[in-house]
Amino acid sequence: MSVSVTFLGGLGEIGRNCAAIEIEGKIAVIDVGLMFPEEEMFGVDLVFPDWSWLAKRKGDVELVILTHGHEDHMGALGYFLRDIDVPVYGTQLSVDLAAARIEELGVDAQLHPVPFKTWKKHGPFRFSLIPVSHSVPQAAAVAFDTPEGIVVHSGDFKLDPTPIDSNPTDLTAFASLASQGVRLLLSDSTNAENPGFEPSESSVGGPIADVVRQAPGRVIAACFSSHIHRIQQIADAGVKAGRKIAFFGRSMHRNTTVATDAGVLDVPAKSVVDIKELSNFPEDRQLMITTGSQGEPFAALSLMSQGRHKFVELHQGDTVLISAKPIPGNETAVSKVISNLIRRGATVVHGRNAHVHVSGHARREELATFLNVVRPQAMVPVHGEYRHLHAHGELARLMGVKEVEVLEDGDRIILDGKKTIVERGAVPAGYVYLDGSAFGDVQAGVLRDRSHLADEGVVVVTVGIDHNNGAIVYGPDLDSHGVMDDPSAVLEKAAEAVRSAIEEHDSGRADLNELQKTVRHAAGQIIRAETARRPVVLPVVIEL
């Protein structure tokens, strides 16, 4: 009886992590994550996996399993559950973080916390969550006991010897699975190109404490709101330095509340104040922990860098601590925010000028150790850009893994007895865009149009014609945006060309569509000839 895994996201990009394992015609989904938009995705807020294949087989989808509570693994879950309402399993914190996110969409979810290292049965699926060390507490790998043998999804992990919560990756549990025989391993590849071992999360605690202690005035610290371990270390530094702490930013409030209630974030209540009250204390006793480490345009840190934040106006003596690494695609936005913060007089400490950030993902030697422990028969690298997947695949081959398949979104791997079969492009797995409240309505063609508008600008041509004889009674009036600084001379020539074209338009004067084409062609021809640019020409022809 064959078992298959189909990949809907996370293979070829950082984010959108989503895979589906199928047994006996039933499907379990592993993670439903989101991705931040890339620079050319004009107007797009978030990017989701394409689960249209699953929606067509809605009756076969049994459950969702979350590996951990990061947005790139569960950020799209609420939208998924609106289409496919199934139970969701994960560790207590993972489902709590998911619940807070899902409630914002008004979705009723069936959320079920599962303890570590207990086998859970749901339909034809028997699975167990195994503790792994990552940058959020209660991160897990998932092991499936299938008719074709054990299938392991590593989730995001590193081999941190001194994790903040004292819960390292449970190599003993993985060794136990190896003794039973792991048929297929799906393993985190983010840092597969980087040699050595990733430093421990606890290693940034001292440098962060130094920054907070030595800062002459206010400290504004930014990190991922789901990076609970980092938030804990920043808060500990603030408490030790005698500072009052204010959490702000919607996701920061939400996640710190959830983590505190779950007992995985411990900040003395007497040290925490509302952002509105923080200014009552001396500046050298203020610590703000906020969002915006990725240069998001409407996040608190970006607004501060532009002087537009409601409560915080930066000035000389402020210290900004950015304890995060830019996600690929966000580098430019983060760089601009840092530059603007410095312009406003702040001292900016970040991962490239101080040891205030470490990754939550295993490097090459850790991945080699993990492969040695799990000893899979077959392996598919997951979670990473293609170069990361390729590097991890090469490492697995060096480690003696018999079957290594470097796959991409939309591909499927099938386990059938001793055969391991790959289907390339088995399902659609393109990007699905969230643009404002529009989910899935923005297609690639729309983004191409937006890119064209951004690159070349737009010219609007308005002309009124007499309904009876087609004579021009208004205009042509041309208005340009984003074409050139002083377009008046060019637009005058284009207006004359449009006037002449309409006067020569003998046939079909009553056909507005034909007349619009004539106007567009005439204006576009002159503008291209005069400027060597191809702006979007929008003809507005009105019958009067």
Q: For residue 274, what is the domain's CATH number? A: 3.40.50.10710
pLDDT at residue number 362: 98
Per the residue annotation, which of 227, 361, 383, 388 is the catalytic one?
Answer: 361
Catalytic annotation on 485? no
Tell me, yes or no, whether 475 and 432 share the same domain. Answer: no
Q: What's residue 435's pLDDT?
A: 57
Mean pLDDT, rounded, for 280-308: 90
Q: Dihedral sign, CA of 478, 483, 487, 491? A: negative
CATH at 510: 3.10.20.580
Tell me what the pLDDT averaged over the chain comes to.
88
Strand partners, 422: 413
pLDDT in tens, 423-440: 999 999 988 876 544 444
Listed range (187-191, 250-254, 304-308, 511-515) with the worst mean pLDDT: 511-515
CA-to-CA distance for 259 and 245, rounded, in angstroms? 16
Q: Using the structure block, give the residue that is written with the tokens 């339909």.
A: 123
Give the residues across from 348 on adjacent strands: 320
Q: Across residues 432-460, what is the average pLDDT? A: 55
- Whether residue 111 sits in one domain with residue 26: yes
User: Is-contact 540 479, C-beta < 8 A?
Assistant: no
List the beta strands (DSSP E) in 383-520: 403-404, 412-416, 419-423, 432-435, 438-439, 458-465, 472-481
Question: Is 80 exceeded by the pLDDT of residue 453?
Answer: no
Mean pLDDT of 398-426: 96
Q: Are residues 83 and 190 in the same domain?
A: yes
156 is catalytic: no
Nearest-angstrom CA–CA distance, 91 and 139: 8
Report CA dihedral (329, 332, 337, 340) to the nearest 10 degrees.
-170
Q: Do 451 and 492 have their domain in common? A: yes
Q: What is the mean pLDDT of residues 506-534?
A: 70
Helix axes 386-398, 364-374, angle to 10 degrees: 50
Q: Are residues 212 and 125 in the same domain?
A: no
Domain count, the chain: 3
Is residue 175 located within the same domain as residue 205? no
Residues 152, 281, single domain; the answer is no
pLDDT band at 38 (very low <50, low <70, confident <90, very high): low
Least confident of 111-115, 388-392, 426-430, 499-503: 499-503
- Picking from 316, 350, 384, the residue at the C-terminal end of a domain is 350
Tell whether 119 and 227 lie within a shared domain. Answer: no
pLDDT confidence bin for 487, thresholds 50/70/90? low
Q: Are residues 234 and 191 in the same domain?
A: no
| Residue labelled with tokens 């009876």 | 468
Classify residue 291 by its DSSP letter.
Answer: S
The pLDDT of residue 267 is 97
Domain residues for the domain of 515 are 444-543
Specify whether 240 is located in the same domain as 279: yes
Rg, C-alpha atoms of the chain? 28
Report percent pLDDT > 70 for the chain: 89
- Do residue 455 and residue 431 come from a single domain? no
Average pLDDT over residues 120-147: 97
In 49-137, at which residue ranges do the beta strands (DSSP E only) sit? 61-65, 88-90, 111-113, 120-122, 125-131
Alpha helices in 84-227 (DSSP H): 92-103, 171-180, 205-214
State the helix-helix crossing angle for 171-180 and 364-374, rounded to 10 degrees.
40
Mean pLDDT value of segment 347-367: 95
Residue 367: its H or E element: helix 364-374
In the set 31, 188, 409, 435, the catalytic residue is 188
pLDDT of residue 374: 98
Domain boundary among 406, 437, 468: 437
Answer yes or no: do 11 and 91 share one domain: yes
pLDDT band at 445 (very low <50, low <70, confident <90, very high): very low
